[in-house]
Amino acid sequence: MRTSARLLAGLVMIFFASYPVMADAQSSQTPAITLSSVQGTVVSASTSTVVVKTGENQYQVFVVDRNTARPQAVPMHAQVIVKFVPVTGDQTAIADSVVLIRVEKLRIASVMALAI
């Protein structure tokens, strides 16, 4: 009887000792998320969205949240690359990052001409 109790106690201890190892092996098998990217011109930007016009004249809307890596300000007409997780259906993609490539400089002469 004591031998059976000791054997059972030993098996229970082995199970609980190996449980964290099994849980870690299962969590490491999570597939990596593949990001897509789009390059284009910013036509609209707010604190929560960025709209980009691509070279193919397609407009894409991206949600910008607290996890999105981005500059403090995303100026209009700036060239950007937006990396995002692809979505299906009519869901709006959430931007993983917004990177400025080129920012158009404001031409003071043309602004002065408009003011006259």
pLDDT tens-digit profile of 65-112? 999 999 988 999 999 999 999 888 889 999 999 999 988 765 444 444
Same-domain pairing of 42 and 79 = yes
41 touches 35 (CB < 8 A): no
Same-domain pairing of 22 and 72 = no
The answer to whether residue 111 is domain-embedded is no
Residues spanned by the domain of 19: 1-30
The more confidently predicted of residues 29 and 52 is: 52
What is the mean predicted confidence (pLDDT) over 11-15? 64
Residue 103, burial from CB neighbour count under 10 angstroms (0-12, 13-18, 19+): middle
Tell me what pLDDT residue 8 has: 65
Same-domain pairing of 90 and 40 = yes
The answer to whether residue 112 is domain-embedded is no
Number of domains in the chain: 2
Distance between terminal CA atoms of the chain?
A: 103
Q: DSSP class of residue 76?
A: T
Same-domain pairing of 98 and 77 = yes
